[in-house]
Structure 1
Amino acid sequence: MDKMLSIRPNWQIRSLFFEIQKYQEAANRTEIANWALEKAVEQKVDWRKVSKIKIEETEEEIKQPEFMQIRVDEEYYNKVVEQIMDTFKLKRLKAPYLIQLVLVNYLSIIINGDKDESIGTAEKMIDYGIDPLVFKNAYELSDDMNKDQLLELARQYLEEYDTELNRKIRTQMNQKIKLHSDYFDVDKYYPKPRNDFGTCNIRFVSKCLAGLLLVLVECGGGDYNTKEIILNMKKAMKLADERRVRL
């Protein structure tokens, strides 16, 4: 069953439709809105993260109506309403804000590409909180024939394509290093107190991500495969490069 939305779009919504139509020129607003809703339901989106994405107002002239009527799939719409209201503890959700959020998420997917499922799972684990040293050691101890190639790709991915994930792992690893430093009470064993506890480098961070992915392969019951992860990471980075050129 369909649901008709009647909204007066703000400049953010106009800009989002305009940017999306650069990639999907033949699509109308109704098609875009429904694809965005469908993706939102499939992905189980982190709406807090989406709400913090900055929207740039386009400098190009936008020829769009001041009042829009958009026919959407009611089932998808209601599911997304429930997700967003639960996330922000809202008693009421206005349609323009919902449309704005789903369009931001959809444009992000178009620009950055759908992430490989294993990377998405790894990110959720890191967001929840991990012991990075455990996964670094998992990499060191792994006998997977493709682990060196996975490490190289993990480093490239963290340095060039997901600096936020790089920061999260680095922060968690530095916290763990500090805990070890505090535990051994270095001031007791050295004449001069240390001013810092040391920090990890990109190789450590990359080994942590590569090790986490290898653990998913080993413990995933056949759901993940190292060669497939490597192939999907290459495809994702290539697609991101192509989209950067278009932008």
Structure 2
Amino acid sequence: MAKAQNIVILTGAGVSADSGVDTFRDPDGAWVKNDPVKVCTPEGFAADPALVHAFYNARRAQLPSVDPNPAHFALAKLEAETVKAGGTVTLVTQNVDNLHQRAGSERILPIHGHLDKAECTSCGKVHHWTEDLSTETPCPACDAKTMRPYIVWFGEIPRGFDEVEEAMMEADLFVAVGTSGSVYPAAGLVGFARQRAIPRVELNLEASDNATLFTEARYGKASEIVPAWVDEVLSS
């Protein structure tokens, strides 16, 4: 069983790649076929909301066809065992899929939003959402046709980052899984952990942009290296 410690884990697209979810770096993925400026910015949504809705409708429709992989389940196991030992695991994810939730993780901070939620820009209500969205979709709360994907786009402020910073202040260990180290402010967390002189572990397919800031690194598929690392932590 894990010793009592507080662990903060940052996850990016690489943790879901083995489940078949596109990443920015896939040579033939959704991000190559679509201009991020047009589908991942407030300006793009204002210019062509139908295009943006179509892009996220397709990604939302993909969710039932992908399943958590061993990396997701390993992180959920780490959380459960660490909590039993009196510690905490805070999972900070840049991913907008629901695979961590489906794998059983509970303390999750989805700083970039959720594919399976929608937000009304008129009343501010957030709704669980599994169907398509369009410019004609009425808000269930106020009936205004001003719904948008519950996604943090480039240029917008990540959600719940105050909670992330609070968790980092209490952390004994920081881990980054499947992240490029190029998207801020999340990419800055390892630097914050370094200032606090706590151990920093990178689990990634390849070295991230800020790999030199970590005290330990393991490279390979997340579905292979994450379970192996978790087993080591739990047996230490």
Who wins on radius of gyration, i.e. which is larger? Answer: 1
Decide: shared fold, TM above 0.5.
Answer: no
| Greater share of helix | 1
Q: TM-score, normalised on structure 1?
A: 0.21
